[in-house]
Structure 1
Amino acid sequence: MATPHTEPFDAVEVIRAKRDRATLTDAQVDWVVDAYTRGVVAEEQMSALAMAILLNGMTRAEVSRWTNAMIASGERMDFSGLSRPTADKHSTGGVGDKITLPLAPLVAVFGVAVPQLSGRGLGHTGGTLDKLESVPGWRAALTNDEMMAQLDDVGAVICAAGAGLAPADKKLYALRDVTGTVEAVPLIASSIMSKKIAEGTGALVLDVKVGSGAFMKDLDMATELARTMVDLGTDAGVRTVALLTDMQVPLGRTAGNALEVRESLEVLSGAGPADVVDLTVALAVEMLAGAGRPTPDAEVRAALADGRAMDVWRRMIVAQDGDPDAPLPVAAHRHDVVAQGSGVLGTLDAYAVGVAAWRLGAGRSRRDEPVQAGAGVEVHVRPGEPVTAGQPLLTLHTDTPERFDRARAVLDGAWSLADDTGTVAARPLLIDRIG
């Protein structure tokens, strides 16, 4: 008769330790993450532990060990066989954040490979894969061999992360979503960094958004998250820096899948909104420096203006069976939201714009819900720009016009008018750099 397996710890003692503000030992952390992945630690027990972590925090050593345990739950990728160094970017998500699309091919221009494993949107923040799937034929799912071959040949890949990377995170992420523990900084940091470290990149740049349209509304919390993630990357031997960037106003002039691809193509053509261009260039400069290929800002901008980045984009799309020349989807219905008065646009709330795009069909409320490629919001006026009564401020796009009423409802009060430009405070796009 087989001897039953004896677990080295009991879930309740680990929960009590964190409840009572004790520091978990390395062995406790390794066990609880592994046991939860195996199903030995029950969902309600991990819920209690996650809440204790939210309330009482973790030391740097604990978060580092927790992250390593999440990585150990799955496979690790290895890019050491590539002919060029690697660098990656992760954004904590925002409204109109299409930066990955022009950024990956731009960095590849300078001989640095970009393995960008991306996700789908949930709620008011869009997903990179949803955006790219509006390109006819493009596919998100690649095998590891396909990914490696594309990185060696093209230098950039944007694709779905395989199920084998940090499976403990996937399980814990779903649990945090329904137990009010999403905001726990140690768990956010370990969730992001376990996947990025397992992905095997040599350098990592984090874009931590702050403001109404961001996951982190508060600068102090965003700074804590950025520092925690930079520490985790550094401890794991990945050259990591974080930029804190503003998300009080939507990024660029579009929020929605095909709308954002169209705007990204403008950037890759040497045009596009200044904030999208500036942030793309700032992140590219950081990625190139981290990968050991420091490049001046002006040289990076030149690669957008002269078409080199667009050339890489086209090759990247073709490599994943997309047609870079095919027309992008356009929504069947439009509705203009017009200004009721004249003056200068004082504020435009990013969160409201993101929720409107979501309600129009650009986002999803369940992971398996389809999205509309053409749905979203076009922004015609940004804070500091003049407004005339009756002028369109926003254009709403959807295939299902019955969605307009709910989108308009969330936009009610989402902007304000000022008398003149002197009363509109300019917000810096780049708030801080950590690392």
Structure 2
Amino acid sequence: MTPNTFGAHLDAPSVIRTKRDGGTLSDAAIDWVIDAYTHDRVTDGQMAALLMAIFLRGMSGHEIARWTAAMVASGERFDFSDVGRPTVDKHSTGGVGDKITIPLVPVVMACGGAVPQAAGRGLGHTGGTLDKLESIAGFTAEITKTQIRQQLRETGAAIFAAGELAPADRKIYALRDVTGTTESLPLIASSVMSKKIAEGAAALVLDTKVGSGAFLATEAESRELARTMVDLGREHGLTTRALLTDMEVPLGRTVGNAVEVAESLDVLAGGGPDDVVELTVALAREMCDAAGLDAVDPAQTLRDGSAMDRFRALIAAQGGDLEAPLPIGAHSETVTAPRGGTMGDIDAMAVGLAVWRLGAGRSAPGERVQFGAGMRIHRRPGEPVAAGEALFTLYTDTPERFASALSELDGAWSVGDQAPPTRPLIIDRIT
């Protein structure tokens, strides 16, 4: 055993065994293992074993709080209290077609808020905001703290890679993606909140997904996750609230990287799918309320073009060129309707996995994604369908991926005689 700075003799196998056998990790063990993994004294293999033990055995509320605090302490904590505008951020627990950050941030900017958005890359079957925005020519999320502060003051937002914020989480996040441990409530809650607490916003709104495309299988688990994250935020002095929102079917009509940016531009231009608009406006209202902003109606910023103006300013500040064409996969395949009728439900998880198979996501940490890979959904649940009509178009630069992507879609949709029951997009609000 190796002595360490946390006042105890600890080693990775003993920490792993404690959790493997259903025990509770001590504060010293959590502090040690997070620090040791951050500084390469615990291997990826050892952390992968601990993550699987946590996945299978869970964590107590105190363990989650300490794990979160240890990840916050692994890097610096920003303070943007001097930028001259109320700071507020939003985080989604991850969904399919969930491009909401892209139109939402400029809406809140147009309402007078400043949004420091430490965004992530794709994880499992869900897309990452940074992967989507990096499909815009020239856009970079690798910006300095000085530039972040300057953009918050002058432009009203910065969307950036977490960088030195919770570096322990960055390593663990990448490992979760490739070890089948993404769907763990303690690991999701601590990952989200460590970055958001370190990020320096004064208020946070959480979009906690419920349904087949969410990381957690049941509404009860998603509700528990939202409650856990709201409590973690409060413990660290961060005004936090959550919406539970539906993720049984994909959001909007596009899933992927560049295709979701294109749909977001439609929303900012005053159009776009109704569900994307509804969720954008609902979250913007929560963010404005949490930040004490009430002078501007978020919906008005989409109608009058002010949100689009703020988006253009944000993208330009980070080197992006919205005049350059967005990439689209060089090869496409179309799925057509076998009969006429009404589109049934579309399984969000299956669509997310199909788009991942097309190359829009990663199968190893650091792997490059295809910006042009993705899917267009031509008919959403409840819409009329004619026999032979296009239902889905799949895009990729590597056509050998089509077979596995199409197999993910098998049985994930239907055309019937009746519309499926409608569900509310916003299920509940947790404060």
The two structures have a TM-score, normalised by structure 2, of 0.92
Match of 2:228 in 1: 228
Q: Does structure 1 residue 284 correspond to structure 2 residue 280?
A: no
| Residues 127-146 of structure 1 aligned to structure 2 (within 5 Å) | 127-146=128-147
What is the Cα deviation at residue 52 of structure 1? Answer: 4.7
> Is the counterpart of residue 206 in structure 1 residue 202 in structure 2?
no
- Tell me which residue corresponds to 2:411: 413
Alignment correspondent of 1:338 = 336
| Alignment of structure 1 residues 237-276 onto 2, 5 Å | 237-276=237-276
1:156 aligns with 2:143: no
1:426 pairs with 417, 422, 427, which one? 422
Taking the aligned partners of 1:106 and 1:27, their CA distance within structure 2 comes to 43
- In structure 2, what is the Cα distance between the partners aligned to 1:173 and 1:230? 20
From the superposition, tell whether residues 49 and 399 of structure 1 become closer, same or farther in structure 2 (CA, over 3 Å).
closer
Q: Give CA-to-partner distance per residue, 1:221-279, whole Å, 9 cap, x none.
A: 11111111111001111011111111111100001211111110110011100000000
Aligned partner of 2:308 in structure 1 is: 310
Match of 1:99 in 2: 100
Work out whether residues 285 and 295 of structure 1, in 8 Å CA contact, stay in contact via their aligned partners in 2: no
User: Equivalent residue of 1:403, what SS?
Assistant: helix
What is the CA distance between 1:319 and its match in structure 2?
0.7
- Does the 8 A contact of 1:75 with 1:166 survive in 2? yes
Q: 1:256–1:290: structure 2 CA closer, same or farther, 3 Å change rule?
A: same
Name the CA shift for 1:45/1:369 in 2 (closer, same or farther; >3 Å): closer
In the alignment, the residues of structure 2 paired with residue 5 and residue 348 of structure 1 have an alpha-carbon distance, to the nearest angstrom, of 52
Alpha-carbon separation, structure 1, partners of 2:16 and 2:256? 42
Deviation at 1:139, TM superposition (A): 1.5
Task: Report how far residue 112 of structure 1 moved.
Answer: 0.8
Q: Give the CA deviation at 1:91.
A: 1.0
Quote the offset at 1:380 in angstroms.
Answer: 0.8
CA displacement at 1:304 relative to structure 2: 0.5
In structure 2, list runs of 5 or more residues that go unmatched.
none
Amino acid at match of 1:138: F
Cα deviation digits, residues 51-102 of structure 1 (max 9, x gap): 5544443333332222111111111111012111111111111111110100
Gaps spanning 5+ residues in structure 1: where?
Answer: none
- What's the CA shift for 1:117? 1.3
Report SS of the residue matched to 1:206: strand
Change beyond 3 A, Cα 1:324–1:285: same
Q: Which has the larger radius of gyration?
A: 1
Between 184-193 and 261-270, report the one with greater CA deviation: 184-193
Amino acid at match of 2:374: G
Moved more, 216-225 or 252-261: 216-225
Match of residue 328, structure 1, among 304, 323, 326: 326
120-129 or 30-39, which deviates more: 30-39
Asked if the contact 1:205–1:241 (Cα under 8 Å) also holds between the matched residues in 2, the reply is: yes
> 1:30: how far off?
2.9
Q: Which residue matches 1:196? A: 196
Stretch of structure 1 that moved more, 306-315 or 370-379: 370-379
Q: Which residue of 2 aligns with 1:216?
A: 216
Output the CA distance in 2 between the equivalents of 1:180 and 1:323.
36
C-alpha distance in 2 between matches for 1:187 and 1:133: 26
| TM-score under structure 1 length normalisation | 0.91
Residue 184 of structure 1 aligns with which residue? Answer: 184
Note if contact 1:341-1:390 (Cα within 8 Å) is conserved in structure 2: yes
CA distance in 1, matches of 2:272, 2:259: 12
The 5 Å alignment of 1:160-179 reads: 160-162=161-163, 164-177=164-177
Percent identity of paired positions between Structure 1 and Structure 2: 62
Q: Alpha carbon RMSD of aligned pairs, Å?
A: 2.4
Does the 8 A contact of 2:182 with 2:215 survive in 1?
A: no
* Inter-partner Cα distance in structure 1 for 2:42 and 2:372: 43
Secondary structure in 1 matching 2:414: strand
Partner-residue secondary structure (3-state), 2:345: strand
Shift of 1:340: 0.3
Amino acid at match of 1:61: H
Q: Quote how far apart the aligned CAs of 1:19 are.
A: 5.7
Change (3 A) 1:79 1:356: same
Give the distance between the partners of 1:290 and 1:29, measured in 2 at CA: 32
Structure 1 CA distance for aligned equivalents of residues 366 and 52 of structure 2: 27
| Contact 2:93 2:214 (C-alpha < 8 Å) held by counterparts | yes
Q: Could you tell me which residue of structure 2 aligns to residue 361 of structure 1? A: 359
Does residue 79 (structure 1) correspond to residue 76 (structure 2)? The answer is: no
Q: Which is further off, 237-246 or 174-183?
A: 174-183
For 1:18 and 1:76, the matched residues in 2 are separated by 29
The structural deviation recorded for 1:401 is 3.1
Q: Give, in whole Å, the separation in 2 of the partners of 1:367 and 1:19.
A: 25
Moved more, 120-129 or 337-346: 120-129
Q: Which moved more, 1:124-133 or 1:329-338?
A: 329-338
Secondary structure, aligned partner of 1:189: helix
Q: Distance in 1 between matches of 2:165 and 2:229?
A: 18
> Which whole-Å CA distance do the structure 2 matches of 1:154 and 1:314 have between them?
10
- Measure the CA separation in 1 of the matches of 2:328 and 2:63: 48
Which residues of 2 match residues 32-47 of structure 1 at below 5 A? Answer: 32-40=33-41, 46-47=47-48
- Structure 2 residue 382 is the aligned partner of structure 1 residue 384: yes
Distance 1:14 1:258 in 2: 42
Look up the SS of the partner of 2:237 in the other structure.
coil
